[in-house]
Amino acid sequence: MPADDFITAVFAAAPYFLFKLFTVILLLLHLAFSAVLTRQTKLMTTVVEAKISPAIYAISIIHFLVSLFVLIWAVLFL
C-alpha cells in the first residue's frame, strides 16, 4: 500500500481520533513551554530583584496550572 493511500485511509477511518491526538500533542508542547517559562521566570527573579518579581512569578505559575488544567480537560472530555 503506497503512503498516500495509507494516509487517506487513516484520515477517513478516524478523523475524530486524529483531531484528539494532535490536540493533546499540541497541549503537551504548550505544557512543556509553560514549564520552561516558569523555570526561566524563577531564575530571572533570583537574578533581578524587583518589587514586581513575585507577581511575575505568580503569573507564570498560574499559566502553568491553567495549561495543565486545559490538558487534563482535553484528555477527559474530547
Q: Select the more confidently predicted residue: 66 or 48.
A: 66
- Phi and psi for 2 in degrees, rounded to 5? -65, 160
- pLDDT of amino acid 70: 98
Q: Is the pLDDT reported for residue 6 higher than 70?
A: yes
- pLDDT of amino acid 14: 79
Number of other CB atoms surrounding residue 67 within 10 Å: 20
Which whole-number Å values give the CA distances from 19 to 6, 24, 51, 61, 70, in the listed order?
Answer: 17, 9, 44, 28, 16
At 11-42, the pLDDT tens digits run 787 788 888 999 999 999 999 999 999 999 99
